[in-house]
Amino acid sequence: MFETLPSPQMDGIIALMQAFAADPRAGKIDLGVGVYRDAQGRTPVMRAVKAAEARILEQQDSKGYLSLAGDATFLSAMETLLLGGAVPGTRVAAVGTPGGTSAVRQICDLIAKVRPGATVWVSAQTWPNHEPLIDAAGLKARPYRYLDRDAGALDRGGMFADLAHAQAGEVVLLHGCCHNPTGVDMSPQDWAEVAALLQRTGATPFVDMAYQGFGEGLDADAGGLRHLAARLPEVLIAASCSKNFGLYRDRVGIAMAVVPQAQRDAMAATLAGLNRQSFAFPPDHGGRVVSTILGDPLLRVQWVEELEEMRNRVQTNRRALANALRAATGSDRMGSVAAQQGMFSILPLTQAQVMRLRDDHAIYVLWDGRVNMAGLDPSRAGDVARAVAQVMRG
Ligand code: LMR
């Protein structure tokens, strides 16, 4: 039956993880996959997570099935974290999902239910898995300009000119904060203009929120999403707890739709039905850790402090790399990495230069020059910058 099955092309991020793991060179540097690393190079279990897990272990008396939507306490805690009361709960439908990736997929399947083959506008560039997920649901990805590569900033003119062509029945995918891969975020004014544009065109926003808390703070990072939710009839949301709770392998995500109140029940039932069709019940453990932390004032304070530590460290890494790049290249061409947000920035490297970084210097970055700032050891910033300068000189 499977004699003719072709080997699929492997996801570039996963392929890079494997290549790094297989590289025997001492001192190799992994700036590929988007995971946080501390000063010891570890991706630690957060202290608030450990405490919540201890409490769950002690108190949990059943692992029987819950509803298809998952644990109601988790859903409502996440609704508050994301939307901060911007819309009444009677307009919100949500389901737990195995990670943010499945949340994106469930939302794509939801769109396909009412608009098969619909266009989803995606920033050029975007998270490498967005397009495969959109394709898998039978939708069509269409790019809008986003990054001004020379300035390392938002191509505002290009973005608004392209999105002016989005229409009712089409979807505009936006990164809630900490844009992956560029690190370039929209300002509150840009979000207000996006909201006005969507009101004019009738296109539906779909906000992917994978890094809340890694940009400017939990509330500031959700400001754009909340602005849209308060002004538009429909907003689709996929959110992940992988990074801000460090729950990567526990797979904790949520798919959410803000709709007019009259459609809320049908939406909730549809999302639950989509869960049933792909994995039935979402995993419970990680979501319960999240709701335990968000529901306990002391654990919440501890988590916010730890998240701030991570955010500050990433910003320190950004400054360290920007300074080292300035020193190594004698130019401020890559100075914008200091001002960008979240885990990622794009360095202006060709694919050949990316390969030379890997082959000659054992430094792993994504094929498009994406660098994971959260994976950098600041004491190696000089090594990275000198290698980058060397491959750029040719
Ligand atoms: C990344 O972009 O590196 C992370 O979001 C991990 C992933 O699943 O791709």
Are 346 and 368 within 8 A, CB to CB? Answer: yes
Of ligand 1's atoms, which has the minimum distance to the CA of residue 129?
9
Pocket test for ligand 1, best of 37, 104, 129, 180 (most atoms within 8 A of CB): 129
Q: Give the CA-trace dihedral at 183, 188, 190, 192, to 10 degrees.
A: 140
Task: Compute the distance between CA of residue 212 and CA of residue 228 in angstroms, rounded to an integer.
Answer: 16
CA-wise closest residue to 172 among 204, 138, 140: 204
Instruction: Calculate how far, in angstroms, residue 34's C-alpha sits from the geometric centre of ligand 1.
Output: 5
pLDDT at position 118: 98
Exposed/middle/buried for 386, CB within 10 Å: 0-12, 13-18, 19+? middle
State the CB neighbour count (10 A cutoff) for residue 306.
Answer: 19
- For ligand 1, atom 2: residue with the closest CA: 34
- For ligand 1, atom 5: residue with the closest CA: 34
Pocket test for ligand 1, best of 11, 31, 33 (most atoms within 8 A of CB): 33
Q: Is 17 in the pocket of ligand 1 (CB under 6 A)?
A: no
pLDDT in tens, 133-161: 999 999 999 999 999 988 999 999 999 99
Instruction: Calculate how far, in angstroms, residue 224's C-alpha sits from the geometric centre of ligand 1.
Output: 22
Question: Which residues have a catalytic role annotated?
Answer: 127, 208, 210, 243
pLDDT at position 394: 82
Strand (E) or helix (H) holding 169: none
For residue 209, give Cα distances in angstroms to 27, 177, 349: 33, 7, 27
Task: Compute the distance between CA of residue 180 and CA of residue 370 in angstroms, rounded to an integer.
Answer: 9
DSSP 230-247: HH-S-EEEEEE-TTTS--
- For ligand 1, atom 6: residue with the closest CA: 34
Instruction: Calculate how far, in angstroms, residue 133's C-alpha sits from the geometric centre of ligand 1.
Output: 13
Q: Is 13 in the pocket of ligand 1 (CB under 6 A)?
A: yes
Three-state DSSP state, 126: coil
Q: Is 66 in the pocket of ligand 1 (CB under 6 A)?
A: no
Residue 92 phi, psi (nearest 5)? -115, 130
Give first-to-last CA distance, the chain, whole Å: 49
Task: Compute the distance between CA of residue 136 and CA of residue 138 in angstroms, rounded to an integer.
Answer: 5
pLDDT in tens, 181-212: 999 999 999 999 999 999 999 999 999 999 99
- As separate numbers, helices (DSSP H) first and strands (DSSP E) second, the chain gives 14, 13
Strand (E) or helix (H) holding 145: strand 140-145
Task: Compute the distance between CA of residue 312 and CA of residue 142 in angstroms, rounded to an integer.
Answer: 35
Q: Is 181 in the pocket of ligand 1 (CB under 6 A)?
A: no
Exposed/middle/buried for 153, CB within 10 Å: 0-12, 13-18, 19+? middle
- For ligand 1, atom 1: residue with the closest CA: 34
- Half-sphere exposure of residue 82: CA atoms within 13 angstroms, side-chain side: 34
pLDDT at position 199: 98
Q: What is the identity of the amino acid at 48?
A: A
Domains and CATH numbers, the chain: 12-44+312-393 (3.90.1150.10), 65-295 (3.40.640.10)
Q: Is 248 in the pocket of ligand 1 (CB under 6 A)?
A: no
Q: Is 76 in the pocket of ligand 1 (CB under 6 A)?
A: no
Residues lower than pLDDT 70 in the chain: none
pLDDT at position 39: 87
Instruction: Calculate how far, in angstroms, residue 76's C-alpha sits from the geometric centre of ligand 1.
Output: 26
Cis amide bond preceding 181, omega within 30: yes
Q: Is 129 in the pocket of ligand 1 (CB under 6 A)?
A: yes
Task: Compute the distance between CA of residue 62 and CA of residue 65 in angstroms, rounded to an integer.
Answer: 9
- For ligand 1, atom 9: residue with the closest CA: 13
